[in-house]
Amino acid sequence: MSKNILITGGAGFIGCHVVKLFVNRYPAYKIVNLDCLTYAGNLENLKDIEHAENYFFEKVNILNAEELMRVFEQYQITDVIHLAAESHVDRSISDPLAFVQTNVIGTVNLLNVCKQIWQSLEQHLFYHISTDEVYGSLGESGYFLETTPYDPQSPYSASKASSDHFVRAYTNTYGMNTVISNCSNNYGPNQFPEKLIPLCIHNIRNNKPLPIYGKGENIRDWLFVEDHAKAIDLIFHRGKSGETYNIGGFNEWKNIDIVRLICDKMDEKLGRAAGTSKQLITFVKDRAGHDMRYAIDAHKIKQELGWEPSLQFEEGISKTIDWYMEHEAWLNNVTSGSYQKYYEEHYGK
Residues making contact with ligand NAD (CB under 6 A) = 8-9, 11-15, 35-38, 40-41, 61-63, 83-87, 102, 106, 129, 131, 160, 183, 185-186, 192
- By CB under 6 A, the count of residues binding ligand TYD is 12
- Shortest approach of ligand NAD to residue 14 CB, angstroms? 4
**Under rule CB under 6 A, which residues in 300-319 are in contact with ligand TYD?**
none
| 91 part of the interface to ligand TYD, by CB under 6 A | no
Q: Among residues 188 and 239, whose Cβ is nearest to ligand TYD?
A: 188
Out of 156, 245, 339, 342, pick the active-site residue.
156
| Residue 193 CB-density burial (10 A; 0-12 exposed, 13-18 middle, 19+ buried) | middle
**Mask for 208-247, x = binds ligand TYD (CB under 6 A):** ---xxx----x-x---------------------------
Residue 308 has, within 13 A of its CA and on its CB side, a CA count of 5
Determine the interface stretch with ligand TYD among 29-37, 206-214, 301-309, 339-347 (rule: CB under 6 A): 206-214
For 295, the 3-state DSSP assignment is coil
Q: Among residues 189 and 212, whose Cβ is nearest to ligand NAD?
A: 189
- Shortest approach of ligand TYD to residue 139 CB, angstroms? 15
Q: How far apart are CA 106 and CA 208, in angstroms?
A: 37
Q: State how far the alpha carbon of 311 is from the alpha carbons of 20, 134, 225, 317, in Å.
A: 19, 25, 10, 10
Q: Among residues 177 and 277, whose Cβ is nearest to ligand TYD?
A: 277
Known catalytic membership, residue 226: no
Which string of b and e fits 98-127 if b means at least 16 CB within 10 Å?
ebbbbbbbbbbbbbebbeeebeebeebbbb
Out of 35, 50, 79, 133, pick the active-site residue.
133
> Which one, of 348, 347, 337, lies nearest residue 40 by Cα?
337
Residues contacting 36, CB < 8 A, separation 6+: 59, 60, 61, 62, 84
Residues with a known catalytic role: 132-133, 156
Residues that bind ligand TYD in the complex, under the rule CB under 6 A: 89, 185, 195-196, 199, 211-213, 218, 220, 255, 287
